[in-house]
Chains A and B, each alone.
Chain A
Amino acid sequence: MNNVDEIKRIEVDEMRQWNGFKEGKWIDEINVDDFINLNYKPYDGDERFLAGPTARTVECNERVKELLAAERKAGGTLKVDASRIMRITAFEPGYILKDKDIIVGLQTDEPLKRGICPFGGIRMVKEELKEYDETLPENLDFMFRYMTTHNDGVFKAYSSEMKQARHLGFITGLPDAYGRGRIIGDYRRAALYGIDRLIAEKEKDHEEIASREIMSEENIRLAEEVWNQIAALKDIKKMAESYGFDISQPASDVKEAIQWLYFAYLAGLKEENGAAMSLGRTATFIDIYAERDLADGRYTEEQIQEFVDDFILKLRVARHLRTGEYNELFGGDPMWITEGLGGVGADGRHRVTKNTYRVLNTLYNLGPAPEPNLTVLWSEKLPEPFKKFCAQVSIDTDSIQYENDDKMRPAYGDDYSIACCVSAIQMGQQMQFFGARCNLAKCLLLAINGGVDERTGEHLGPQMEPMPTDRALDFEEVWRRYCIYLEWLMGVYARIMNIIHFMHDKYDYERSQMAFLDSEVKRLMAFGVAGFSVAADSLSAIKYAKVYPIADENGVIVDYRTEGDFPKYGNDDDRADDLAVALSKKSIEELRKHPTYRNAVTTLSVLTITSNVMYGKRTGNTPDGRRAGEPFAPGANPMHNRDQKGAIASLNSVAKIDWNNCRDGISNTFSIVPDALGKDREARKNVLMGLLSGYFKQGAHHLNVNVLNRETLIDAYHNPDKYPSLTIRVSGYAVRFNALSRAHQKEVIERTFHTAV
């Protein structure tokens, strides 16, 4: 049945799955936002309705805890299956506990088992397998001798300058050897419409695209892509069938809605090892089904919570096979299964529902955990009891982050979600080209040295005399040069990104995720910067103190002697903060000058994940006094312990960075000891709420909140077994502390903890 109109007619007449739903545009077109708007019920109450875990939930959760302990004991990876390529239907059904699972589906046939995704890069897969003493089966090895992967394609097109900028550490972490991720399918579509309707819509799109008068490169590519999406949708149906479900039709109750949505999401998880695999914004959508079932007496609150718990538990056992080098960039084995919670609709009603609470409640029912990456979309208009509950969850679990809905909504509409950590994307209508980040601090050193890398002496970029070493650095001259080198670096960066995403579309197209987006999708190209606070403080040192460069025997400036004090970013001091603001502005202005692949809109993030450690390692001494190799601060954070005027001054500095220059997100990770928040639980909740409110009222974008003592982390560093589930927020995501490398653990311990005086 491929005729859209026929399907639609049947739907309107006899779609029993939609009984009780208010009709609207969503009936005739794929429009989940419209469905939500017409049918959801905002919830203004508090958390007292929530149900605890059932005996079954506890049992399954215990099983997962055992598996996680075994995984930790095994050094971080429990099992690897190299026998086949990860595809939607590659594996037989898998379960946590076969008779107990109520929401079913695993990436492979066993929880925590990792498979291989070779289309991003076969070399990477071989390295991964070597680390685990596995080898690629002969047939696969043979096949890839004659196939180009994304990674092969990129390196065929890179110039020598690009490779040099990459290996010296000016631009790193690029998705040129692994899946780019950051694509968020609107998996709710599977539940609301059923797969058959989605296939019919895609077939209609395909016919329209393939029949266009001008067969441009873009049209040809798109036609092929949509064809691949249709194939994926058919495979998803097959995969669901293997678990005993027919998902061709819409979901008929809350349990099915969760299950359908999960199958759709799982397909992407099964064949894409993207760096970030966000879930989207599902809680309020699911609530519509939950409310209907509660009203009909079909399910109880306890049952619905149990479905949600089981769904979340499945998300917690998803894994990708990674190399040691990758883990250095993105520590803690993250998946970034990000779910946006709350926010406000276009009509001004907040989108908090009972199910928003249920999702947060999993952190109590199942215990704290890094995944899914729960992200509260904060608005002044969120109901007070919800704000308070979020504050409580932060204090109790350190597992959630906050992003400013009042800032993002005007730009991305009310139905956006968060890719990875901080990047907003319109649900169903946009995708992102992820681009890691370039190193602002290292670029400053390059400018001072006139085009010589401070660590190797290699020449790159525009060539000029180094800054004179017989006098203090002149700020005006340094800034003039820095602008020249930023212009150069951003140019190289933009060209690299175009190559990467061209090749990714060509050789590793995410058909199973793109199948849940509109065929004519809008694209964002997300650039990033690292070393933000180090660069800002270095500029401040040069401007407000006297910084004397010190050259080595080859005339390369490798160190600095600083006389006098200087203002530092993180103290709400405009002198330093203005330099940080100028840096973000200059970066995006330079990037915007360059044409982008598929006309993507250029955006910028100030976010490092945990790569701030690796970036620091590859950057020499900096004029702010930071020593060579020392980690940078993460994201847009002020440098560790330089923010000395207290938490609010620190927050205020970060709040000055204009989100309109950094629409891919400005990450700030904030650690505070419980005693500094107040004497008792009630006071702490109120104070944390006040902090969040004050920060976001100024237009700030993102805050990771950790409420814990440094001593706890030090103890966990020495006694990992005592803290199996200690979860902390690092930079736009949460990790199990134990899953971080020693270097990353140390860096987290070094960070500023705001204390009571």
Chain B
Amino acid sequence: MTTGKLHSIETFGAVDGPGIRTIFFLQGCPARCLYCHNPDTWSCEAGREIALEEVLQTAKRSLPYYGKNGGVTFSGGEPLMQEEFVLEAIRMLKRHGIGTVIDTSGTWVDEYTEDIIAECELLLLDVKHSDRRKFEEICGCSQKNLHLVMSLANKYRTPIWVRQVIVPGINDTEDNVDALTSFIKSHIENLYHAELLGYHTMALDKYKKMGLAYRLDGVPPMETGRLRLLNDRLQNALALAVARTAS
């Protein structure tokens, strides 16, 4: 029986995928994003073992809350790194009528990725940056895997919910939003939703506790008014009805 490496469980997630979701944060991530707010999920060694059965039992406890749209989200870390476990979990949950969302950065691809993308109900895709070079600067990984992930989603018609964290001084410009818009239009065929998330500094304490250097020291949190403007620009450019988020 496959087991996974778990960081934590959040039984009430309302912003990571449609409806009310149970979120399993898994350990391990190939990326080292400048603004990562979960550095405690980087290591593949840390965390505790979680069996498939526990995933199912935990999700079942939330069945009364899921309604039409809710379900399970695997986040992390990078859930695609725990390929076998995640794939088996998706299949098992599906047998019990529970859909799975994968919250990925598109920085990891292996022989299981195709099946995962084919069988999950939605990808929450964190596009660190549309520009290849900037992408590498932010997360320390090549953009190659991201393109593989998007083409697999296109192949299996898996809808994608694009997200990007907006950091003051790094990507908080209209130009960046426009670049992201054309990136989405040219690479993603089944767009479910797209949104910009504001950078925040709440992870600072975690870094301190872990004795890690914080590379964005001094960068202020993203201002909400400005973020709203950029988000509106993105929505308009993509002609996504805001009502789409109503789930």
Residues in B whose Cβ lies below 8 Å from that of A698: 64
Stretch at the interface among B17-25, B92-100, B106-114, B168-176: B17-25
Query: Which of B12, B61, B62, B195 has the most chain A CB atoms inside 10 A of its CB?
Result: B12
Decide: B61 and A649 in contact? CB cutoff 8 A. yes
Q: How far is the CB of A193 from chain B (nearest CB, A)?
A: 43
CA distance A695 to B70 in the complex (A): 15
A747 contacts the other chain (CB 8 A): no
Contacts of B23 in A (CB 8 A): 757
Query: Is B10 close to A, CB under 8 A?
Result: yes
**Chain A hits for B247, CB < 8 A:** 683, 686
Assess the A690–B70 pair: CB atoms within 8 A: yes
Residues of B within 8 A of A222 (CB): none
Closest to A571 in B: B11
Are the CB atoms of A645 and B15 closer together than 8 Å?
Answer: no
Q: Is A693's beta carbon under 8 Å from chain B?
A: yes
Whether A678 and B22, one on each chain, are in contact in the complex, defined by CB atoms closer than 8 angstroms, is no
**Contact call B11/A757, Cβ cutoff below 8 A:** no
Interface-facing stretch out of B45-53, B121-129, B142-150, B238-246: B238-246
A697 touches B246 (CB 8 A): no
Does B10 contact A645, Cβ atoms closer than 8 Å?
yes
A683 to B62, CA, bound (A): 19
Distance between Cα atoms of A756 and B37 in the complex (Å) = 13
Cβ-defined contact, B11 with A693, below 8 A? no
Q: How far apart are the CA atoms of A691 and B12 in the complex, in Å?
A: 9
Known: A678-B14, A687-B14, A757-B10. A648 touches B243 (CB 8 A): no
- Say whether B65 faces chain A, with CB atoms less than 8 Å apart: yes
| Interface assignment of A551: CB less than 8 Å from any CB of chain B | no
Q: Mark A626-670, 1 if CB is under 8 A from B, else 0.
A: 000000000000000000011111101000000000000000000
Residues of A within 8 A of B62 (CB): 648, 694
Q: How far is the CA of A115 from the CA of B229 in the complex (A)?
A: 56
Q: Are A648 and B246 in contact (CB under 8 A)?
A: no
Q: By the criterion CB–CB under 8 Å, are A756 and B14 in contact?
A: yes
Residues of B within 8 A of A693 (CB): 64-65, 67
B44 adjacent to chain A (CB < 8 Å):
no
In the bound complex, how far is the Cα of B243 from the Cα of A683, in angstroms?
9
CB contacts (< 8 Å) of A13 on chain B: these are none
From residue 1 to 38 of chain B, which have CB atoms closer than 8 A to chain A? Answer: 8-16, 19-20, 22-23, 25
Q: CB distance A646 to B10 under 8 Å? A: yes
Contact with A along B48-86 (1 / 0, CB 8 A): 000000000000011011110010000000000000000
**For the complex, what is the distance from the CA of A695 to the CA of B62, rounded to whole Å?**
9
Chain B, Cβ-Cβ closest to A685: B246
Interface membership of A677, Cβ < 8 A: yes
Q: How long is the Cα–Cα vector from A676 to B11 in the complex, in angstroms?
A: 12
CA A438 – CA B24 in complex, angstroms? 40
Q: Pick the contact of B11: A645, A682, A695, A697 (CB < 8 A).
A: A645
For the A-B complex, the count of residue pairs with Cβ-Cβ distances under 8 Å equals: 85
Does A680 count as interface, using CB distance less than 8 angstroms? Answer: yes
Roughly how many angstroms separate A754 CA and B20 CA in the complex, as a whole number? 14
CA distance A697 to B23 in the complex (A): 21
Q: Please determine whether B61 and A676 come into contact, CB atoms closer than 8 angstroms.
A: no
How far apart are the CA atoms of A303 and B242 in the complex, in Å? 37
**A649 CB to nearest B CB, Å:** 4
- Asked if A648 contacts B9 (CB within 8 A), the reply is no
Contact B245 A646 (CB under 8 A): no
Q: State whether A691 and B246 are in contact (beta carbons under 8 Å apart), knowing that A645-B11, A648-B20, A678-B14 are contacts in the complex.
A: no
Q: 1/0 contact trace for B219-247 toward A, CB 8 Å?
A: 00000000000000000000000110111
With most chain B CB atoms within 10 A of its CB, the pick from A675, A679, A682, A690 is A690
Q: Smallest Cβ distance from A144 to chain B, in angstroms?
A: 55
Q: Which residues of chain A (686-741) have a CB below 8 Å from chain B?
A: 686-687, 690-691, 693-695, 697-698
A406 within 8 A of B: no
Interchain CA distance A442-B208 in the complex, whole Å: 40
Selected from A649, A650, A677, the residue in CB contact (under 8 A) with B14 is A677
Contact B22 A648 (CB under 8 A): yes
In the complex, the answer to whether A694 meets B245 with C-beta atoms within 8 Å is no
Which chain B residues border A415 with CB–CB below 8 Å?
none
Is A572 interfacial (CB-CB < 8 Å)? yes
**Cβ of A652: which chain B residues have Cβ within 8 Å of it?**
11, 61
**Contact A646-B15, Cβ < 8 Å, known A690-B65, A694-B62:** no
Provide the bound-state CA to CA distance between A679 and B163, in Å: 13
Q: How far is the CA of A680 from the CA of B242 in the complex (A)?
A: 9
Kindly report which residue of chain A lies nearest to residue B19, judged by CB atoms: A690
- Per the bound structure, the CA–CA distance linking A690 and B12 in Å amounts to 11
Q: Contact check, B245 vs A683: say whether CB atoms are below 8 A apart.
A: yes
Q: Which of A646, A679, A687 has the most CB of B within 10 A?
A: A687
B245/A676 in contact, CB under 8 A: no
Instruction: List B contacts of A678 (CB < 8 A).
Output: 14-15, 245
Contact B20 A646 (CB under 8 A): no
Within the complex, the shortest CB–CB distance from A535 to chain B, in Å, comes to 24
Question: What is the distance, in angstroms, from B247's C-beta to the closest C-beta of chain A?
Answer: 6
Give the distance in Å from the alpha carbon of A697 to the alpha carbon of B65 in the complex.
Answer: 9
B3 to chain A, nearest CB (A): 19
Q: In the assembled complex, which residues on chain A have CB atoms less than 8 Å from the CB atom of B61?
A: 572, 648-649, 652
* Set A572, A645, A694: member contacting B64, Cβ < 8 A: A694
Determine the distance from Cα of A498 to Cα of B195 in the docked complex, in whole angstroms.
Answer: 62
Q: Is the CB of A691 within 8 A of B20?
A: yes
Residues of B within 8 A of A647 (CB): 11-12
Chain B neighbourhood of A694, CB < 8 A: 20, 62, 64-67
A649 and B11 form a contact (CB under 8 A): yes
Report yes or no: A679 in contact with B65, Cβ–Cβ below 8 A.
no
Q: How far is the CA of A687 from the CA of B243 in the complex (A)?
A: 14
Contacts of B25 in A (CB 8 A): 757
Q: Which B residues are CB-close (under 8 A) to A648?
A: 11-12, 20, 22, 61-62, 65
> In the complex, are the beta carbons of A754 and B12 less than 8 A apart?
yes
B12 nearest CB across to chain A (Å): 4
Tell me if A680 and B245 are in contact (CB < 8 A): yes
Known: A647-B12, A694-B67. 7 other contacts (CB 8 A): A676-B12, A680-B246, A682-B245, A683-B14, A683-B246, A694-B65, A757-B16
Q: Can you report 6 A-B residue pairs in the complex whose CB atoms are below 8 A from each other?
A: A646-B12, A647-B12, A649-B12, A650-B11, A694-B65, A756-B15
A positions within 8 Å CB-CB of B: 572, 645-650, 652, 675-680, 682-683, 686-687, 690-691, 693-695, 697-698, 754, 756-757
Binding site for A on B (CB under 8 A): 8-16, 19-20, 22-23, 25, 61-62, 64-67, 70, 195, 242-243, 245-247
The list of the 4 closest CB pairs from A to B, nearest first, reads: A694-B65, A647-B12, A648-B11, A646-B11
